[in-house]
């Protein structure tokens, strides 16, 4: 199973010819959450498509989450950060030949092209997350020379209408080295639309014809991103595989969680996908692994001598993994009620972070080596008991003078639903490093604030000389390492220190790495 783990510099990937694995990375901006999907060079064997070619492009692709992550404040880029209006020439539809001529691309049968099809392009996930993420890749020169992006959905839409829709969510986020509006115009010229049913081979065959026109006789590599509900994954994959696969390059499909509702349905989904694809063509991703602070987790631990010796039961009292949102389902209860907060957040996002946090040092940064260490952690986990869990469901509440409805008051939620919107669990890893240390997972909707963070509480200092200065509240004297994934990304260590003056008054202070301050103007979520 291809899972997303670690990223490599995008420019080295754009022309790589080896097979690859997929992985997500940072999100971006108030208008669009950015995630990078990159390919590690060793994860997959060389046979990756129906008809593999000796020379292929490794394509970084971006995706985003759909269950309500939160965004940090973004520092605007000069000349504006969003493209609200299109230039007149972008509203006209040109032939593939005219587009290639304008972009300076001559037909070369010896070169490869990449066609990225966003299946479900008219949905919120695509227009707010995926297209902005693809533009971020283009802005950072992470896409190859010859690429085309096609939106595919049931909605009737022209190329111009797609470009107008997409343009409203594009942002420039990194720096000022390129003119933002010019880059947006160039990107939008590569975006096209095809309307069709997800279960129609004829409609996908028509898409195939359009893709071939843009590919211009080059070796064609095709990537399909499924931005559609899980219940129609198989229909779309069947039609894309049978009617729109590449004839001379690779064909790959990106499937984002959830991979089924439980073990049995996940296995059934995999069996169905393998009727039309090989395992090497299927890329299953958890976009949360692309969060900047999640990616930095292994660097923090394995690249800093001061932390690795402390990363064990001898020094750590507990580890808390917290995910909270300050909004409810807001009319999207149909999807959520089928899964609930445990399946939606805890068993994927938070469990992935836990495995990365607790794993032993891998042999290398290759995806398989990291996966092997994560699997060891999961196999060492003690079965969860009901006594170690708390679940709940949010009720109607008032905040800031505004009254918000209860979960069951949402018209998209079945009447009398008992699906939990909050869950907390204490997990234990029965191995030599973590025996007896509780890993506390907490996730919920409609809570007081929105945040995602890892809190590592260290044990008290034995025989602490300064207990009397803190009174009886020993927790105040606890050192704590906080990794704030979102919003306002930061890593800080709480330490005890003396307040300046003649007395012996103690205080707690933070040794703080604040990303917005340290890496300005680089912006994240």
pLDDT on residue 207:
93
pLDDT on residue 444:
93
pLDDT on residue 500:
85
Residue 156 has pLDDT above 70, yes or no: yes
Q: Is there a single domain that holds both residue 283 and residue 220?
A: yes
pLDDT on residue 511:
87
pLDDT on residue 90:
53
Domain assignment present for residue 15? The answer is: yes
Q: Is there a single domain that holds both residue 16 and residue 36?
A: yes
pLDDT on residue 315:
93
Question: Would you give the DSSP letter of residue 171?
Answer: B
Using the 3D structure, point to which of 287, 303, 319 is the last residue of a domain: 287
Domain enclosing residue 346, as ranges: 292-518
Top pLDDT among 302 and 18 is at 302
Can you tell me which residue has the tokens 């997990």? 427
Mean model confidence pLDDT for the chain: 77
Extract the tokens encoding 353: 């972070």
Cα separation of 286 and 307, whole Å?
27
Domain assignment present for residue 524? The answer is: no
Q: What is the pLDDT of residues 66-101, one digit of tens each?
A: 333 333 343 344 444 444 455 555 555 555 555 554
Q: Is there a single domain that holds both residue 122 and residue 254?
A: yes
Over residues 458-462, the mean pLDDT reads 86
Q: Is there a single domain that holds both residue 174 and residue 251?
A: yes
Top pLDDT among 307 and 20 is at 307
Q: Is there a single domain that holds both residue 275 and residue 403?
A: no
Residue 27 has pLDDT above 50, yes or no: no
Of 4-18, 82-96, 210-224, the poorest mean pLDDT is in 4-18
Residue 296 has pLDDT above 90, yes or no: no
Please give the order of strands across the beta sheet that includes 389-392. Answer: 389-392, 422-428, 438-444, 316-324, 451-458, 480-486, 490-498, 506-514
CB atoms within 10 A of CB 135: 30
Over residues 199-207, the mean pLDDT reads 93
Question: Would you give the DSSP letter of residue 76?
Answer: P
Using the 3D structure, point to which of 287, 314, 344 is the last residue of a domain: 287
Domain assignment present for residue 33? The answer is: yes
Among residues of the chain, what percentage have pLDDT more than 90? 33
Q: What is the pLDDT of residues 346-356, one digit of tens each?
A: 988 999 999 99
Residue 286 has pLDDT above 70, yes or no: yes
Band (457; pLDDT cuts 50, 70, 90): very high
Give the CATH number of the domain where residue 343 resides: 3.30.360.10
Q: Is there a single domain that holds both residue 309 and residue 277?
A: no
Over residues 436-449, the mean pLDDT reads 93
Q: What is the 3-state secondary structure (H, E, C) of 86-126?
A: CCHHHHCCCCHHHHHHHCCCCCCCCCEEEEEEEECCCCHHH
pLDDT on residue 471:
57
**Closest by Cα among 351, 420, 355 to 392:** 420
**Closest by Cα among 39, 46, 48, 34 to 10:** 39
Question: Would you give the DSSP letter of residue 50?
Answer: S
Residue 260 has pLDDT above 60, yes or no: yes
Total of domains in the chain: 2
Domain assignment present for residue 489? The answer is: yes
Q: Is 436 left (phi over 0), alpha (psi -120 to 50) or beta?
A: left
pLDDT on residue 116:
93
CB atoms within 10 A of CB 277: 22
Top pLDDT among 126 and 36 is at 126
CB atoms within 10 A of CB 403: 8
Q: Is there a single domain that holds both residue 272 and residue 344?
A: no
Q: Is there a single domain that holds both residue 252 and residue 337?
A: no
Domain assignment present for residue 143? The answer is: yes
Alpha-helical (H) ranges within 225-291 are: 233-243, 263-273
pLDDT on residue 23:
38
Over residues 215-236, the mean pLDDT reads 89
Domain assignment present for residue 523? The answer is: no
Q: What is the pLDDT of residues 231-253, one digit of tens each?
A: 889 999 999 999 999 988 999 99
Residue 202 has pLDDT above 90, yes or no: yes
Can you spell out the DSSP letters for 324-392?
E-SS--TT-HHHHHHHHHIIIIIIIIIHHHHHHHHPPPPSSSSHHHHHHHHHHHHHTBPPPPGGGEEEE
Domain assignment present for residue 525? The answer is: no
Over residues 339-366, the mean pLDDT reads 91
pLDDT on residue 53:
39
Band (111; pLDDT cuts 50, 70, 90): confident
pLDDT on residue 198:
92
Q: Is there a single domain that holds both residue 171 and residue 61?
A: yes
Band (475; pLDDT cuts 50, 70, 90): low
Q: Counting Cβ atoms within 10 Å, is residue 320 exposed (0-12), middle (13-18) or buried (19+)?
A: middle
Of 8-12, 231-235, 253-257, 324-328, the poorest mean pLDDT is in 8-12
For residue 460, indicate whether it is catalytic.
no
Using the 3D structure, point to which of 267, 287, 307 is the last residue of a domain: 287
Q: Is there a single domain that holds both residue 253 and residue 337?
A: no
Q: Is there a single domain that holds both residue 359 and residue 211?
A: no
Residue 104 has pLDDT above 80, yes or no: no
Residue 472 has pLDDT above 60, yes or no: no
Residue 403 has pLDDT above 60, yes or no: yes
Over residues 382-406, the mean pLDDT reads 89
Q: How many helices (H) and strands (E) does the chain have?
A: 15, 19
Domain assignment present for residue 106? The answer is: yes
Global pTM value: 0.72
Cα separation of 237 and 198, whole Å?
9
pLDDT on residue 87:
54
Cis check: omega of the bond before 487, within 30 degrees of 0: yes
Top pLDDT among 204 and 478 is at 204
Residue 337 has pLDDT above 70, yes or no: yes
Over residues 382-402, the mean pLDDT reads 89
Q: Is there a single domain that holds both residue 322 and residue 363?
A: yes
Pairing of β 506-514 and β 397-399:
unpaired
pLDDT on residue 174:
57
Catalytic residue, candidates 146, 349, 460, 514: 349
Can you tell me which residue has the tokens 């691309």? 105
pLDDT on residue 124:
80
Over residues 29-51, the mean pLDDT reads 34
Give the CATH number of the domain where residue 87 resides: 3.40.50.720
């Amino acid at each position: 199973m291809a899972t997303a783990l670690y990223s490599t510099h995008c420019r080295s990937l754009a022309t790589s010819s080896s097979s690859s694995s997929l992985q997500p990375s940072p999100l971006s901006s108030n208008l669009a959450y950015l995630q990078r999907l990159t390919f590690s060079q060793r994860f997959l064997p060389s046979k990756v498509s129906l008809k593999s070619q000796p020379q292929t492009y490794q394509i970084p692709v971006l995706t985003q989450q759909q269950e309500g992550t939160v965004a940090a404040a973004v520092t605007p880029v000069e000349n504006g950060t969003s493209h609200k209006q299109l230039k007149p020439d972008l509203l006209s539809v040109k032939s593939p030949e005219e587009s290639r001529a304008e972009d300076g691309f001559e037909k070369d049968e010896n070169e490869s092209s990449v066609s990225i099809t966003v299946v479900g392009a008219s949905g919120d996930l695509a227009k707010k997350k995926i297209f902005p993420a693809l533009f971020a890749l283009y802005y950072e020169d992470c896409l190859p020379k010859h690429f085309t992006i096609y939106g595919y959905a049931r909605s009737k839409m022209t190329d111009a209408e797609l470009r107008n829709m997409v343009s409203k969510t594009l942002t420039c986020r990194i720096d000022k080295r390129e003119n933002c509006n010019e880059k947006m115009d160039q990107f939008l010229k590569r975006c096209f639309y095809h309307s069709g049913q997800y279960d129609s081979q004829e409609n996908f065959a028509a898409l195939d014809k359009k893709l071939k026109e843009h590919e211009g006789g080059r070796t064609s590599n095709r990537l399909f991103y499924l931005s559609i509900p899980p219940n129609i994954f198989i229909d779309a994959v069947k039609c894309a595989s049978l009617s729109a696969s590449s004839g001379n390059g690779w064909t790959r499909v990106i499937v984002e969680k959830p991979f089924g509702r439980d073990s049995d349905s996940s296995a059934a989904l995999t069996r169905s996908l393998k009727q039309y694809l090989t395992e090497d063509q299927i890329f299953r991703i958890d976009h949360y692994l692309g969060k900047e602070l999640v990616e930095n987790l292994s660097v923090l631990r394995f690249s800093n001598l001061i932390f690795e010796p402390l990363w064990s039961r001898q020094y750590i009292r507990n580890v808390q993994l917290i995910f909270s949102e300050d909004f409810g389902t807001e009319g999207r209860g149909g999807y959520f009620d089928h899964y609930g907060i445990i399946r939606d957040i805890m068993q994927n996002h938070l469990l992935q972070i836990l495995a990365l946090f607790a794993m032993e040092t891998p042999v290398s940064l290759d995806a398989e080596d990291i996966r092997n260490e994560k699997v060891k952690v999961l196999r060492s986990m003690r079965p969860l008991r009901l006594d170690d869990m708390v679940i709940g469901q949010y009720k109607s509440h008032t905040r800031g003078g505004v009254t918000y409805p209860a979960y069951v008051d949402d018209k998209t939620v079945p009447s009398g639903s008992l699906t939990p919107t909050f869950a907390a669990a204490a997990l234990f890893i029965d191995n030599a490093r973590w025996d007896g240390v509780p890993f506390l997972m907490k996730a919920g909707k409609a809570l007081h604030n929105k945040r995602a963070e890892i809190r590592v509480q260290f044990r008290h200092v034995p025989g602490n000389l300064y207990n009397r200065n803190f009174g009886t509240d020993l927790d105040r004297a606890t050192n704590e390492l906080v990794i704030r994934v979102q919003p306002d990304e930061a890593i800080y260590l709480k330490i005890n220190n003396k307040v300046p003056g003649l007395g012996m008054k103690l205080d707690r202070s933070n040794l703080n790495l604040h990303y917005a301050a340290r890496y300005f103007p680089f912006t994240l979520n």
